[in-house]
Chains A and B, each alone.
Chain A
Amino acid sequence: MQALWVTLRVLLGVFGGYAISAASSAALALALSEWAGFERAESTVLCAMLGFGFYLFALLWAFTTPRLSRVALVLLGGSLMAYGVVRWLSPVALSAPVALRALVSLSPLATSIGS
């Protein structure tokens, strides 16, 4: 039984933490480029880098917070809120068909690394 709760916490921490980090990163990137005058590329890189830090914090928090219900509420609720902000700021961005089209094409591996 204990194993079940631990498994649930791990799943929530890993996936829920990722969800809130990714969604917040997207929301902030949009906000910075639309309202704060950042260039799109600059805003993207900044928020993606910050996203890793946010994810680390979310993971540490998820595994050291006593109440599992709070972990679920904050991570899942936060993800939904951040996603809501993304859709509100840009109805096109991250809508299902757009996201699916991007997922289908291969990862930008060649452009990410070195030369």
Chain B
Amino acid sequence: MSVLHTWVGVVLGAVLFAIFWMGTLSVFDREIDRWMMPETRLGPAPSVSLDAAARTATTLAAGAKQWSITLPSERTPTLQVRYPGPEGSVLRHVDPATGVALDDAGTLGGTGFIFPFHFTLHLEWLDLGLWLVGLCGMAMLVLVVSGVVIHRRIFRDFFMFRPDKALSRSSLDLHTGMGVLAMPFHFIMPLSGLIIFFSLFFPGTWHAAFQGDRAAFNRETFGSYSRPRANAPGTLGSLDAMAAEAERRWAGGKPFMARVLEAGDAASVVELRRSYANDVSMNRDAIYFDAASGEVLGRFESKPVGAVQRFIAGMHFVQFDHWLLRWLYFGGGLAGCVMIAAGFSFWLESRRAEHARRGWLGVRVVEALATGSVTGIVLATLAFFITNRALPASLTLAGFEREELEVLAFYAVWLTTFVHAAWRPRAAWGEQALAIAVAALLAPAANWLSTGDHPLRALARGAFAVAGMDVVLLAGAMVAAWAARRLIARPHARLELPALVAPSARPAESEAASG
């Protein structure tokens, strides 16, 4: 179990950190959006008339076969209009108070870059990124189980623990501490994440049960309604009336999204989806209306087992309104990141002497990869934020759009951290931690300079997301500075091998023997 845990950790730790890091940030992806898209830093939305929203949407999505509107929420104060465009799906943010579409933000933001990074690693070809994340999910489950088995003598080890040996054991203690502290989280997150994608990872199951009929599988499991086009012009009735009917049928549940299929056609269908702001479960409840008359055509609700899957998915997605839980998820994610980083640190420090003696490359290779994957990706993320605030509003440079330039900055900095780590082996950890501290101070400064919003002003005008992000960045800068100080000032402090075996009961004698 120990060998299994070590090998899986060392081989996949880098990818696992990326998944954990991006996942932790994704808990606040909408808040990151507010920070990266200043035009969307609106106050709380007035209650929005769906019909007024539909008028804006039909103007924006003129000619599109379908479009959808997502109502404003506490975390996303804009009205979002989505429709297919020539280059893929288009998302427009609309100010709900005026009905005016905001300018294109010129950034992918938290929801467009950071969140998809978490589960696809932005490796889209053949869904390889998804499958790699899936493998890491299974690996994480194996790591948690094997970690518990290794540490099963937790009480006995605790009473044998010697605080005066803390320095050499600090990485291991941090690793097990973070692991034990948030252990249910570290198990449930990968499992729930895998369950979200059950139809991708176990396609054979639905294949067998539905004889390969994918349309039937989607219809019966996730709900969908379709009817043939009439190929005649049609009108759109009152969405507000449909919403009221939906609320009645949902016994008070409110719609959060309206989608119009076959827009403009006489056979157009309006789909209303029920909000999950107050539920853990990310329901797929939908009611389908005839667009012109508002007559109810159909309704979908998950059956019992399907509802369980929606609940488990909801536990992972955290889309419900609950600030305390959201911060706890963030904390759990950070604990996971620290756990992985400390695990690497422990492995490196405990193998360093032996590898050097035997002339093995293992420690050198893992150290370079680990540094780039841990401090490197954090630094790259900060570069992403700083670039977002530094670039002018609309920009095209050398054929790259503004949003592409931000992503380019991310990858360029990330690549540089690997090169840096390979070039300056042991010093790179501390130097990158220092760079993180500096960057984490620059980001709120850039925000202040480019938007005039500093934490106090943001709090005063109710832009809590912006204030929160700046405060977390500043706190992160302090933590990084502390870590840099420890890593740079005493690089040789952890040369002694940790006392893995039961500590000697006679310290005086063993010291005399080695002296």
Contacts and interface: CB of A to CB of B under 8 A. Distances in A.
5 contacts: A41-B305, A41-B306, A44-B217, A63-B4, A114-B319
Contact of A59 (B138, B198, B222): B138
Q: Nearest 10 CB-CB pairs, A to B?
A: A26-B208, A48-B198, A41-B220, A98-B212, A26-B204, A93-B208, A42-B305, A48-B202, A41-B221, A29-B209
Interface of A: 14, 21-23, 25-27, 29-30, 33, 39-49, 51-52, 55-56, 59-60, 63-64, 86, 89-90, 92-94, 98-99, 101-103, 105, 107-109, 111-115
A114 B317 contact: yes
Contacts of A60: 142, 145-146
A99 B304 CA distance: 28
A111 B141 CA distance: 25
Interface string B46-89: 00000000000000000000000000000000000000000000
Interface stretch (B188-196, B232-240, B458-466, B470-478): B188-196
Q: Which of B199, B218, B308 has the most CB of A within 10 A?
A: B199
Nearest to A56: B141
B409 to A, nearest CB: 27
Interface centre among A14, A103, A113 (most CB of B within 10 A): A113
A29 B208 contact: yes
Max chain A C-beta neighbours (<10 A), residue from B197, B205, B313: B205
Contacts of A22: 202, 204-205
Nearest to A10: B7
Contact of A46 (B145, B305, B313): B305
Main secondary structure of the interface of B (DSSP, over half): helix
B68 to A, nearest CB: 9
Given A41-B306, A42-B305, A45-B306, A111 B218 contact: yes
Tell which of B209, B303, B312 has the most Cβ of chain A within 10 Å: B209
Given A40-B210, A45-B198, A45-B305, A25 B205 contact: yes
B214 A49 contact: no
B214 A94 contact: no
A60 B138 CA distance: 11
B209 A43 contact: yes
Contacts of B212: 92-94, 98-99, 101-102
A90 B208 contact: yes
A58 to B, nearest CB: 10
Contact of B207 (A64, A93, A105): A93
A102 B214 contact: yes
Contacts of B317: 114
Contacts of A47: 202, 205, 209
A108 B127 CA distance: 11
Contact of B196 (A27, A94, A98, A113): A113
B282 interface: yes
Contact of A107 (B127, B194, B303, B308): B127
Contacts of A107: 127, 130, 200
Contacts of B135: 14
Nearest to B216: A40
Contacts of B220: 39-41
Nearest to A91: B211
A13 to B, nearest CB: 10
A93 to B, nearest CB: 4
